[in-house]
Amino acid sequence: MSTLSIRKNFTIPQSIVKKLEFLAQKMHKKQSQVIQELINEKMKEYEKEKKLQALDRISGMFTGEFCEDISIQSIKSNSAN
């Protein structure tokens, strides 16, 4: 599947330009490829963090606690009566 490329113009400091040129040369890639890869890596980090936060929010569901006062153990002991 081919991806449509869109031309973008950015203004970046000369120090960043030098770093980009260096990275592109060391990686044997075009500068646009280096930028694309770095953006994709950062997005993966963001998506991973987002998933970890979602997991943190639901982690209480796996402890056996329903709320502060009720647990599976208390339900079991009350249902035996």
pLDDT at 65 over 60: no
User: Tokens 């330009």 belong to which residue?
Assistant: 17
Neighbour tally for 20: CB within 10 Å: 16
Distant-in-sequence, close-in-space partners of 23: CB < 8 Å, separation ≥ 6:
34
Residue 19 sits at the vertex; the CA angle it makes with 16 and 24, to the nearest 5 degrees, is 125
Q: Is 65 helix (H, G, I), strand (E, B) or coil?
A: strand
Neighbour tally for 34: CB within 10 Å: 19
pLDDT at 66 over 60: no
Confidence band for 61, pLDDT divided at 50, 70 and 90: low
Dump pLDDT digits (tens) for 5-59.
999 999 999 999 999 999 999 999 999 999 999 999 999 999 999 988 888 877 7
